[in-house]
Chain A
Amino acid sequence: MRSFDDAARVLGELEQRVMELLWDEAPLAVREVQHKVGGQLAYTTLMTTLDRLYKKGLLARDKHGLAFVYRPAVDRAEYQRRVVEAAVTPLLERGADAVLAAFVDVAADVDEAHLKQLERLIAARRRRR
């Protein structure tokens, strides 16, 4: 199964429309999704799209008779948070240093004892004021 990071990056327009629909009206079977998204899309196209979203971990599904019924595996807010998180991680960890200035170096290897020592210095200074 693909990671959420990958899924969030490549979520296409149709997949996004399907997710929006299911957040509003789940659970839905493939035929219902086809009807609500637009009848001109082939049944097999939507079945493939829903299956892909399921494999990405964005949808859950239950079998009702011979057909699957789909519902979101994450709510909209959680999805948005994870999408943003997926955009933040490479920015901070995969060498975007050239285009940004960070308040504190993300890669700074600072141990707890060192931080406590600095905190004591700050506290002493605050007391002197």
Chain B
Amino acid sequence: MTDAILRTANLSRRFGGLNAVDGVDLELRRGEVHAVLGPNGAGKSTLVNLLSGDLPPSAGSIHYDGREITGLPAHRVSQLGIGRSFQKTNIFPGLSCDENVWLAAQSRQRSSLRFFRPAQHNRAVRELTDASLARCGLGRHGQRRAGALSHGEQRQLEIGMVLATQPQLLLLDEPMAGMGREESEQLVALIKDLSRDYSLLLIEHDMDAVFAVADRLTVMVNGRVIASGDVATVRASREVQEAYLGGAAAVGS
């Protein structure tokens, strides 16, 4: 029996008449890097939102680390150990990088309903914040205002914020969206580094990056999974080539 840290069964989400996600069976093994690919409209964003608890499913189930998490709200899912980063940068632009990550790190305290001592005095949060900033490559940029960072640096901050919530599973939603060549390469290196310590579910468009880091692939088209397995097999699959890789939707970087 493979050790699956995340498993979905017949996961579906309908919007009116549209089946955005249709009967998806997905399995993420402990310690692997699993990429989900698909053209625009394939349902990838909806899938991420279902897994992170931002959207309740219309049908099906999600199991994480052996327990059912179907329908749990986002904050509960985060507390259980799934850390999700966002495709559209979702930071606090008016705060410094340090403060952005701090808030994420603070979430791991037993309770933030603490009113008396200044937040800064918490040593554990301080250490976690520093470590997360360093891990995502922004160790020396803590005092800079997040809104003033370059696009690539903001994507790094996104990841830093997720790391600070001490997840076991990272849900990275198109982390390389809008990045140039060099920035993408840096991020690929970061992802490879992260894969040593976390299980990763990577939603991506960027083919080259995916093939460089992924252990297994799942390909989605129109809300359905059309292929899933190790990289070589999926790449060679005719359905995948027709529907996605060879067709108009092929996206190189």
On whether the two chains bind one another, the answer is no
